Structure 1
Amino acid sequence: MNIKSKFFIMVLALGALSGCSMVGSHIELDAKTIESNDASNDISTMVMVHPLTVESVSEFKSPLPQSRANPSLQSQIASYEYRVGAGDVLNVIVWDHPELTTPAGQFRSPSDSGLWVDADGTIFYPYIGRVDVLHKTVSEIRAIIAKRLAKYVEKPQVDVNVAAFRSQKVHITGEVAQPGQQPITNIPMTLLDAVNMAGGLSENANWKKVTIVRDGVKETTSLYALMQRGDMQENRLLQAGDIINVDSNDNQNVYVFGEVQNPKLLNITRNGMSLTAALSSVGGINELEADATGIFVIRGREVDAMNSKKTLDSDNHYIADLYQLDIKDATALVVGTEFELEPKDIVYVTAAPISRWNRVIRQLLPTISGFDTLTNGVRRVRNWPN
């Protein structure tokens, strides 16, 4: 038996011993049920590839919101009237009859000296007794009081106003400077008004996703389109009980891996992030290792458990879109500036073929070197004089 044969037998024996002594804890798959994978479920067949070129990049670019008016909102604001609720405070003035006017003192504010609306929606007023004011406008309340006072006062001149708005509120939460309650008043409040009164958006706000919950129904709107692009269709007239939540941008992330200088997680800014901006944020590609033709953006699709069992007859079968940018000519980075990344996108830069080959060689070198050293040692032992 020659030296090489003895060497390989020795390596196998050492491998068996090391396998027994170093394998540690593990999970046996024997006797366990393993789900079978059909050939049709090969992940490579579930990805749609889209080359990014000067001609094609516009197809994948989401249209920017356009400046638009909102006639419906303007109509709602023009016809808006505040309706009194339980807990509000009213002031009543009867001209030329100070004894019937809500008293005010030097040290008492109108809200302290006014008429509170009780829980049953009524107020007490001299001569006429209880007056039902719930869900009525000040004009309607004025007419009711004047009509009932006419029995006691000739042609009464009555004025009614709300001294304190306490019955109706909207709630604004999330990434604003001052989250909390805001009262509904006789001045109509829109979504934009509420955000401004809350001190504006915080640094971590996702202003492209703002939710309004009304009577258990959730609606999503975009402050980016409203505030940055002037799309008034995104504005809303708020109502009592509305809950506005400005989401955080914590989940507005993209992942950059592969042959780049500094792989890391990036946060999409308020103004978005292009593919070129993402590459710049990680220091660019590794010029010595990267394959300039293999700049990929992996964008997952929502996968239906039922669709995962279907064949490729339906486009719904694809689980991801793969966008490929070739920057062998660095001017192609201009194309990357036109491709906007979306949350959860994965930017991956592949290694050049020569780099992959070099890595294989580097993996093998220690083994080859060790084999050469061991062989030379065996030869010296065989040649050692008895």
Structure 2
Amino acid sequence: MGQIAVIGAVVFVSACGLPRSGPTRGQILDGSIEKGGSSHVVMVDDRVNRAASYSPAYGFGSDFQAAGQVGADEVRPGDVLGLSIWENVDDGLLASMGSSSTQLQQLQVDSQGYIFVPYAGRIRAAGNSPDELRRIITQKLETQTPDPQVTVTRIAGDGATVSVMGKVNGQGVFPIERPTRTLSAMLSKAGGVSIEPEVAVVTVKRGGATGKVWLRDLYSSSRNDIALRPGDIILVEEDQRSFTALGALGGQTKVPLGNEQISAIEAVAMVGGLLTALADPKGVFVLRDEPQSVARAVLGRSDVYGTQRIAYVLDLTKPDGMFMARDFTIRDGDTVYVTEAPMVQWTKTLNVILAPVNQIRTTESGF
């Protein structure tokens, strides 16, 4: 009768539920769509590893890469120009008495791209280089004064600027000039990045489009060193990709991915590995929301639509289980969850039942 009472107590306590780190392996499997749940449960094998190997890559689209460099000398609305005009007469149109030259400084190009030059009138400056603008002004003036000589300089290039912010040593608004017409050159102009280059991500926002690239890839491939356009916003930040580790692991935390791809086996190792006394090596799960194209390839079905919840199962007790885990790539936003072994819950139940008995024995032995 005593044994039956103990067994009954075990069943009763188990039914009431004991503290644990999360659902059991069986509970996750029972939550599959095939059993009325809301997620797909997929055992990882070589085919699944190949289908799930998709990894969103950083890089610039064709619209960024096809954009040509801005002419460093091209005048734009907002630029400030300086004009020097020499006249080949003693009493010129513009020159003051006793002087043959006239200095017109701080001529700002208006929002429509024009400047006003006395005796030459309203002249379109935007879109021309300083030399082209010089010729236009000369032609306008030579009908009124003999053989005028004109020079045009761009004092400030406020009309063609980019904003650089984030983890750089010198944030600010910088003009696009001849030495700084590309992304790498502009970052150098801003003093370079203030974080470890290995984890630095550079984002460029241009109108409604956005592209980003690893700093290391920017310098390793000329295709990523895009030409800048006026109004670009450049943001340097530390990589924010991460995965979450939960369950019977050495640590339960959010873990940065870093700049390299990591596998499921590496992800487990990064948080201290499986807890020997708790973990079920048959119950290593990677929980992920897969885009439609990847979900179809993984499930081998064409009748799934939209993003799909998938629970990938890694059984480390199989002969090739460790290899499957080594080849499975962890992605940003993944949850790595390890269930407790079935015996753990049984042990917890026995401890709850036997604890009062042991306490009584300890008390009696004290008398």
Residue type at the aligned position of 2:166? G
2:203 is matched with 210
1:360 correspondence with 2:353:
no
Separation in 1 of the partners of 2:108 and 2:60?
A: 41
Q: Counterparts of 1:152-171 in structure 2 under 5 Å?
A: 152=144, 154-156=146-148, 158-171=150-163
2:235 is matched with 245
Question: TM (normalized to structure 2)?
Answer: 0.67
**Which residue among 117, 139, 145 is the counterpart of 2:137?**
145
Shift of 1:269: 1.0
Separation in 2 of the partners of 1:46 and 1:90?
A: 69
Please list the CA deviations of residues 269-300 of structure 1 after superposition, one character each: whole Å capped at 9, or x if unmatched: 12343323322221111233222222211113
Shift of 1:347: 0.6
Q: Counterparts of 1:237-316 in structure 2 under 5 Å?
A: 237-250=227-240, 252-300=241-289, 315-316=304-305
Residue aligned with 1:45, SS: coil
1:116 is matched with 107
Residue type at the aligned position of 2:173? Q
Compared with structure 1, are the counterparts of its residues 286 and 52 closer, same or farther at alpha carbon in structure 2 (3 Å cutoff)?
same
Query: Does the Cα contact within 8 Å between 2:202 and 2:237 map onto a contact in 1?
Result: yes
Compared with structure 1, are the counterparts of its residues 166 and 210 closer, same or farther at alpha carbon in structure 2 (3 Å cutoff)?
closer
Q: Counterparts of 1:192-203 in structure 2 under 5 Å?
A: 192-203=184-195
Separation in 2 of the partners of 1:339 and 1:40?
A: 21
Shift of 1:165: 1.8
Separation in 1 of the partners of 2:205 and 2:64?
A: 18
Separation in 2 of the partners of 1:261 and 1:138?
A: 66
Question: TM (normalized to structure 1)?
Answer: 0.64
Separation in 1 of the partners of 2:193 and 2:287?
A: 31
Compared with structure 1, are the counterparts of its residues 352 and 364 closer, same or farther at alpha carbon in structure 2 (3 Å cutoff)?
same
Q: Counterparts of 1:3-14 in structure 2 under 5 Å?
A: none
Separation in 2 of the partners of 1:297 and 1:132?
A: 62
Q: Counterparts of 1:218-233 in structure 2 under 5 Å?
A: 218-223=209-214, 226-227=217-218, 230=221, 232=223
Aligned residues: 316
Residue aligned with 1:221, SS: strand
Compared with structure 1, are the counterparts of its residues 178 and 373 closer, same or farther at alpha carbon in structure 2 (3 Å cutoff)?
same
Query: Does the Cα contact within 8 Å between 1:256 and 1:264 map onto a contact in 2?
Result: yes
Query: Does the Cα contact within 8 Å between 1:90 and 1:164 map onto a contact in 2?
Result: no
Separation in 2 of the partners of 1:247 and 1:69?
A: 20
Question: If you compute each CA radius of gyration, which structure gives the higher value, 1 or 2?
Answer: 1
Please list the CA deviations of residues 208-242 of structure 1 after superposition, one character each: whole Å capped at 9, or x if unmatched: 5725041xx2423334684276372x554333223
Does 51-60 or 290-299 show the bigger shift?
51-60
Residue aligned with 2:274, SS: coil
Shift of 1:364: 2.4
Separation in 1 of the partners of 2:66 and 2:40?
A: 45
Residue aligned with 1:359, SS: helix
Separation in 1 of the partners of 2:100 and 2:326?
A: 72
**RMSD, aligned α-carbons:** 4.5
Shift of 1:260: 1.5
Shift of 1:256: 0.8
Compared with structure 1, are the counterparts of its residues 146 and 282 closer, same or farther at alpha carbon in structure 2 (3 Å cutoff)?
same
Unaligned residue ranges in structure 1 (runs of 5+)? 1-38, 104-112, 304-311, 377-386
**Greater length-normalized contact order (CA 8 Å, ≥ 6 residues apart):** 2
Please list the CA deviations of residues 318-349 of structure 1 after superposition, one character each: whole Å capped at 9, or x if unmatched: 75211222223697545434433222211111
2:38 is matched with 46
